[in-house]
Chain A
Amino acid sequence: DGGITQSPKYLFRKEGQNVTLSCEQNLNHDAMYWYRQDPGQGLRLIYYSQIVNDFQKGDIAEGYSVSREKKESFPLTVTSAQKNPTAFYLCASSRGSLDTIYFGEGSWLTVV
């Protein structure tokens, strides 16, 4: 079932390298989000975007960057400034505020 596609599913990187996670949606949703999921901590919002060319920091934006050049795409870059980058990253989208958020399958990033 399409909807939201994240790639790659698994990614290994050396410490100090930047890495970009891809997120594409074909739901025609205006809003897109990036969450980080850590055991016992639930989901924490990294960045969100309400419309093209606009995005806002979430609760844990430090060490991350995003862009929203197209409605269907919202890539996340994990920079070397992120102190604990190893995590499970979830991309999501919604039609608008108060609407259901739909999630991708996630990307596992391991930094060694």
Chain B
Amino acid sequence: AQRVTQPEKLLSVFKGAPVELKCNYSYSGSPELFWYVQYSRQRLQLLLRHISRESIKGFTADLNKGETSFHLKKPFAQEEDSAMYYCALSGGNYGQNFVFGPGTRLSVLP
């Protein structure tokens, strides 16, 4: 069965420091990987997906199939990056195979 793990419930970094939010997955096929973000009082929204290979708000994520990881990185954290981040996996079937991790709360300190 597919599963997404995010080992850190809370991650605190200082402004300007690099940040890495970890995500590991288990899936037998070729999944689509996503990062969703939920800022305070806002709806959950897509941050990036691996297939697009985009850099959104300075964040990047590389899919490592060997390590089954999709870690989210940003070289210099900003205070406005403070939010809840969810890693998600889609195996292709509607919703049934769209699995979210437990989330990591990122707190960027001034």
Contacts and interface: CB of A to CB of B under 8 A. Distances in A.
A91 B61 CA distance: 26
A45 B95 contact: yes
Contact of B43 (A33, A41, A58, A103): A103
Interface string B76-92: 00000000001010101
Contact of A45 (B43, B45, B96): B96
5 contacts: A43-B44, A43-B100, A45-B95, A97-B90, A102-B45
Interface residues of A, number: 25
Contacts of A101: 46, 88, 95, 98
B93 interface: yes
The list of the 5 closest CB pairs from A to B, nearest first, reads A48-B95, A43-B100, A42-B102, A103-B44, A42-B100
A96 B95 CA distance: 10
Interface of B: 4, 9, 32, 34, 36, 42-46, 49, 86, 88, 90, 92-98, 100-103
A100 B34 contact: yes
Interface string A8-48: 00000000000000000000000101010000111111001
Given A40-B102, A42-B101, A98-B90, A33 B95 contact: yes
Interface string A74-112: 000000000000000010001011101111111000000
Interface of A: 31, 33, 35, 40-45, 48, 50, 56, 58, 90, 94, 96-98, 100-106
